Amino acid sequence: LPRPVYDQQSNSQTRLTSSDGIAPSPRRLGAHDAHDANMSIANSFGSKKFPQAIIIGVKKGGTRALLEFLRIHPDVRAVGSEPHFFDRFYDKGLEWYRNLMPRTLEGQITMEKTPSYFITKEAPRRVFSMSRHTKLIVVMGRVQDFLGLKRVVTDKHFYFNQTKGFPCLKKPEGSSRPRCLGKSKGRPHPQIPSEVLLRLRDFYRPFNLKLYQMTGHNFGWD
């Protein structure tokens, strides 16, 4: 594999891309705006770094939920949309990629998620040539431990939303943070006939067993 060509260095500021797949909540005026103003001052410090961790998959595996819920951690800063650098836009170069990143302060982790990296043959080599230290995450288990983060994000941040059918964030008073993921996440699914489910279970069983062996963890999917 090639040597990583870039170090983590600071560079000029660009606008952050907006978050997708997440329902915006209405803005309120007052103390809340003062809070936002402070945030934007804080945001002009720090530097843009290549991500130390990337959620690479799998598609429809809850990658958006993981990133949105992880980024409530004070030591995590993330790109809102999917950059698709290591699959679609690799030609644009590493500086283009780094410019997409939010500024971070010492000790904060920069992250992005693009689930199609998981099915892109070139992606691992490309990520490695950016930095050999980048952690790759496939949604399955306890991510905070893997990233060396204190377990700040816990059950107490969530409630189960019956309408959505999924956990949503409890909104702290005065916060503009969204609560549930957007309409494209947690869609209604059709009823699947039981014989189809059986066939799918049979088909995936050997692959699941292989994964349990590789990870040393029985996910109990069969």
Rule CB under 6 A: which residues touch ligand PPS? 59-65, 115, 166-167, 181, 185-187
- Residue 62 annotated in ligand binding: yes
Measured CA distances, 117 to 6, 82, 85 (Å): 20, 11, 9
3-state DSSP helix/strand/coil percent for the chain, to nearest 5?
30, 15, 55
CB nearer to ligand PPS: give 13 or 81: 81
Residue 98 annotated as lining a ligand binding site: no
Annotated ligand binding at 186? The verdict is: no
Provide CB contacts within 8 A for 210, sequence distance 6+.
none
Q: Give whichever of 32 and 179 is closer to ligand PPS, judged by the CB atom.
A: 179
Closest CA to 170 of 88, 72, 97: 72
Q: Which two structure tokens, joined as six digits, stand for 103? A: 């500024």
- Report in angstroms how near the CB of residue 59 gets to ligand PPS at its nearest: 4
């288990």: which residue's tokens?
A: 141
Q: Give min distance, CB of 195 to ligand PPS, in A.
A: 22
Please report how close the Cβ of residue 179 comes to ligand PPS at its closest, in angstroms: 10
CA gap 41, 66 in Å, rounded: 27
User: Quick check: 83 and 112 in contact, CB under 8 A?
Assistant: yes
Cα–Cα distance, 115 to 202 (Å, whole number): 25
Asked about 60 being catalytic, the answer comes back as yes
| CB closer to ligand PPS out of 51 and 131 | 51
Q: Tell me how far, at minimum, the Cβ of 208 lies from ligand PPS, in Å.
A: 18
Q: Is position 60 annotated in a ligand binding site?
A: yes
Q: Whose Cβ is closer to ligand PPS: residue 114's or residue 131's?
A: 114
**Catalytic, out of 59, 60, 92, 171:** 60
Binding positions for 3'-phosphoadenylyl sulfate are 60-64
Residues marked as binding? 60-64
Active-site residue list: 60
